[in-house]
Chains A and B, each alone.
Chain A
Amino acid sequence: MQPMIKVENLTKRYAGVTALNGVSFEVGRGEIVGFLGPNGAGKSTTMKILTGFIPASAGQVTVAGCDVFEESLEVRRHIGYMPENNPLYVDMRVNEYLKFRAKLKGVARADRKERVQEAMERTGIADVQDRVIGQLSKGYRQRVGLADALLHEPDLLILDEPTIGLDPVQIRQVRELIKELGKQHTILLSTHILPEVEMTCNRVIIIHRGKILASDTPENLRKTLRSGGMVNVELRAPLADVQSVLPVVPGVASVTVTTGDDGMVYAAVEAKADADPREAIYQAAVQGGWTLRELTRSRTTLEDIFVQVTREEDEAEEDRRDQRRSVLR
């Protein structure tokens, strides 16, 4: 089966700026994929190209087997798109707007009423359908945008920052909705909020400075990038003993030891990949006769991965720059 989205060597240059640099990825049918990256990484640009709003400078992009540039109108029929900041006609009423959009998207006259009603019910805006969009709260407007994206029952939903600017309750509601929609549609959503991806997506694509740095499930990313995680240890013991013993405990990669005012020793232990050194640390404490107050493991969050991956990339970039400079000298 052909993938829903296939992007090969996508490059986009604006005057003087390379927004995307040889990006390739695929999204299979039924996947919920999160596009993760800091502001200005190229998320929105990729989405604008996918929806045919702007063309690529180079590369091949197909949606449901259609080239986005050659068969733009056909591609647009497959996509339900919610742009960044969710622009809507604020002077229209909700049902009036959705009816207009349904017509524009070519929903047959006979089905139109039903589709509009269905989209409103799925997004929970049926009770505000007679209100003017400009007077709705941001959460409701966001749902109007989602309802619009659903109208023509597209195979693919592309949502650019769907939870931006919402309050915590609204964010939770929109995430639930996205998960619900993921049962029937392929979804590509972008965000720079990490927990969002962990909660809603079954795959993450990390993009930074127009390049894809990683693409995997949140679990796998954790495993491959830094599996062991951190172990926090609090002890009542002589500082020198802790400093000499802990680093040689099996499974420990590195240790940072500090002392507190209360006479406790705090050790931040970084575990080796695929290792859990907690039991070994306990044994070491018993042997040394230390009093152990805390021994906890913090799992690597996506945030750590994200920071790590983007930092590595930034450092690599810096190295390249330094090399170029030294060559020039």
Chain B
Amino acid sequence: MEQASAPAIQAIGLKKRFGHRWALNGVDLEVAAGQFVTLFGPNGAGKTTLVRILSQLVRPTAGEVRIDGRSLDADSGEIRRQVGVISHLTMVYPSLTGRENLLFFARLFDVPEPHRRVEQVLDQVALSSRADSPVRTYSRGMAQRLAIARAVLHDPRIVLLDEPYTGLDERAAGRFTRLLRQLADGSRTLLLTTHNLEQGLELSHRVAIQVAGRIVYDAPARGLDHATLRERYLELTREAQP
């Protein structure tokens, strides 16, 4: 049942096993509506698995996920309308133009007035001038901006970002950060996974560290400086490093 005070994202005792390996080993996480949380962790910590479960791409082995207080099993189609996902994969068709891709996804999301909305998001990500070029001609930064446009087309209340900075150069990363700030306007809940401690700390309200499928650190970003976070991160992830 939907509750006004329910967290936007709630993971309870989440576990996921791939063969003999536990990618998630009891993750408990709550993100309040409008909050921006960054999740750090070494490679293999299970961050991507967590995002994939929250976005309904993967079923958990055990545990429960609630989005706005609703269980994923209860109303998966409606919950998908509330969630946007950005990852290092652009999830757009390289042979189609930027505009064609966005129109296609807008229609699948039943976006009202899809043409108008597509022009609006193209403008937001500064891709209007290249909207009619095939995506395969885009630079990595442009393709990632298009991925943002695809993820926010349906105006989701929750945006999940899984290593979105992968492959972006300094300039493209800076532009991407500016777009993220626009998204984090308080009306949306954002969960970001990244290796970049400085960037994550600067953007978010709260930071967490995941190691070996568990969240081992969770603290408000306010009052936390980069050096302290780095020290805690290295201490907590020391044993997880190969």
A and B held together in a complex:
no
Which residues of A line the B interface, CB within 8 A? Answer: none
